[in-house]
Amino acid sequence: MDAVKAVALRVNGEVRDRTALDTLDPEAVVELIPAGSKEGLEIYRHSTSHIMAHAVKELFPEVKFAIGPATEEGFYYDFDRETPFTPEDLEKIEKKMKEIIKQNNPFVRKDIPREEALALFRNRGEEYKAQLIEGLQDPVVSLYEEGGFMDLCRGPHLATTGAVKAFKLLNIAGAYWRGDEKNKMLQRIYGTAFYSKEELKEHLDFLEEVKRRDHRKLGKELDLFSVSDDIGPGLILWHPNGAIIRKTMEDFWREEHLKADYKILFSPHIAKLHLWQRSGHWDFYRENMYSPMEIDEVSYEVKPMNCPFHIGIYKSALRSYRDLPLRYAELGTVYRYERSGVLHGLLRVRGFTQDDAHIFCREDQIEDEILNILDFTLFILKTFGFDAYDIYLSTRPEKYVGSLENWERATGALKQALEKKGLAYRVDPGEGVFYGPKIDIKIKDSLNRSWQCSTIQVDFNLPERFDTSYRGSDGREHRPIMIHRALMGSLERFFGVLIEHYAGIFPLWLAPVQVEVLTIAERHDEYAGEVYRALKKANVRVELNRENEKIGYKIRQATLKKVPYLVIIGDKEKEEGMLTVRKRSGENIGPFTLDAFMVIIKEEIENKGQQAADRTS
């Protein structure tokens, strides 16, 4: 590759600016980093973040600077300013950035002694930069300067500011310094940058579509759920429309689990603290758990997991090798502490319901059970409309319990099952849970975004900690293996993903209202009532709109609610005993007799994910 087209270099494994070409050791191993690479785009965006900081300094000299990294979709910079930035400020900053880009200033790296850099930024009143330098161990630190603006930075950067071709500042948000809510709240300006205006426009269009599908916005418009400050952040209130979808999801989940020979369980929301100490959660997961409560002078804890309860049920009776595998499943609500700054609608909450299951089996049954779970998982995901996904094999983390031998056996079982199914996967080193390795399945939504939902974990450790056993064919006691698995992950998060995947236009089997019967005039009420009652009796989720409004208005309102089928009743329908049916896409179908229409919608409801959902907005 031509060195002129390189954004930066990798010299003996270290990323360097392109100017390093001038002083290269002839023996050095050099790799050029092209503009089109992921690393090249990161450097491009990092340089744009630097230009933004320069523009902010010129416009608002009183501002103090924190950090400004590149991100997967763009960049941001955190600023300390008493007056909040406004959208109008973003326009001014963009204009100033364009001036700096037009100046085509070279990015110049300066390496200076750590103590000198510390004094420099302290003298400027840049307390955040000084704190960053204090945390560095290197005797020399690097600064970058362009056009008279200097910033602390590891680099590398583009050759000049003029290399930035297309960017956009997106929004302003709050961010605690170093992510700690005990520290001061800073102002974060987000932006994005691409090599061409065409790429930028495509991304901005994508962001508009993301905004249109935002589950929080649609949740309010479709009256699905809400969060109340009076009740507490991260705690979801399910409204009737959202609750009926949740019930439909749960009913389907339970029916399929019963077919797959799972036993349905229910367990308490709290337990004695010693249970979590014994399980290891108190040692490895305490930062995500709430403070214990005292009941009768005994410490209790709200549950962050369901596993110890399922072990308790397993241990409530003597088990034989003939009883295994024993599959327990529960839609169990758990509570975990999340910082207020990361809570996000349904996707990041403090109380949620896991579609949890734990399988107790013999070691010779592990592979078959994992194969069954993989089939079950992909069936569930496909039924809900997800047929694209990435699979990861997550291995032993730095902090873990149990023997290395058991970890190797568990990891090998997961790997062997994936390979036997012919499923492509990537290894995710160190991302297993403290008690065992896992398979993570990240689904792709209709915008090709990835979401972590399904997980399968092999655990040799909790059965040992709780001294679980079964009587083998040899008459001796043996330790069962425990497989943890969740297919949807949590109902809240999965539902949030569903909303955005379908843009609120749910397939018929999930839609909160499946049919709405609309009358043209009052004289049609009686026949419309007969149609409504017949559909209701057939367990169709139906509403009847007999309001004294024009039919066009009624149709628009039902369409905004994204009701799949509208049944319109007028003189002709009443006289002929027929139904005029309109799909939410605007297509008129029929006419139908009531019985014929009933057959169509019942078949579509029963087919679930086998039929394509109408996603027309």
Catalytic residues: 307, 336, 354, 356, 358, 438, 484
How many of the other CB atoms lie within 10 Å of CB of 427? 12
Calpha distance 196→188 (Å, rounded): 25
Contact 441, 425 (CB under 8 A): no
- Three state DSSP letters for 275-295: HHHHHCHHHHCHHHCCCCEEE
468 near 307, Cβ under 8 Å? no
The total number of residues shown for the chain amounts to 617
Q: CA nearest 386: which of 448, 438, 456, 457?
A: 448
Would you say 279 and 308 are in contact if contact means Cβ atoms under 8 Å apart? yes
Q: Is 307 annotated as a binding residue?
A: yes
Q: H helices of 76-113, where?
A: 87-103
What residues contact residue 352 under an 8 Å CB cut-off, 6+ apart? 236, 333, 334, 336, 490, 491, 492, 493
Left (φ > 0), alpha (ψ -120 to 50) or beta: where does 280 sit? left
Do residues 569 and 517 touch, judged by C-beta distance below 8 A? yes
Please report, to the nearest 10 degrees, the dihedral formed by the alpha carbons of residues 183, 184, 187, 191 taken in order.
Answer: -20
Longest Cα–Cα distance in the chain: 93
281 is in an annotated binding site: no
Q: Quickly count: other Cβ atoms within 10 Å of residue 395's Cβ.
A: 19
Cα distance between residue 221 and residue 512, in whole Å:
13
SS3 call for 405: helix
Q: Any residues with CB less than 8 A from the CB of 74 and at least 6 apart, and which?
A: 45, 170, 190, 191, 192, 193
Q: How far is CA 189 from CA 58, 83, 349, 427, in A?
A: 16, 14, 25, 34
Look-up of token digits 């744009």: 48
75: three-class secondary structure by DSSP: strand
* DSSP H stretches of helix in 324-452: 366-383, 404-421
| Cis before 156? omega within 30 | yes
If we measure between CA atoms, which residue out of 432, 431, 452 comes closest to residue 442?
452
Question: Do the beta carbons of residue 394 and residue 431 sit within 8 Å?
Answer: yes
**16 DSSP 8-state letter:** E
Tell whether 153 is in a known binding site: no
- Type and span of the H or E element at 576: helix 571-576
State the pairing for strand pair 14-17/6-11: antiparallel
- Number of other CB atoms surrounding residue 125 within 10 Å: 10
Helix (H, G, I), strand (E, B) or coil at 293: strand
100 and 54 in contact (C-beta within 8 Å)?
A: yes
How far apart, in whole angstroms, are the C-alpha atoms of residue 297 and residue 293? 9
Nearest by Cα to 613 from 385, 317, 402, 281 = 385
The residues that bridge with 356 in the sheet, in sequence order, are 330, 486
Distance of CA 91 to the CA centre of its chain: 31
Binding-site residue positions: 307, 358, 484
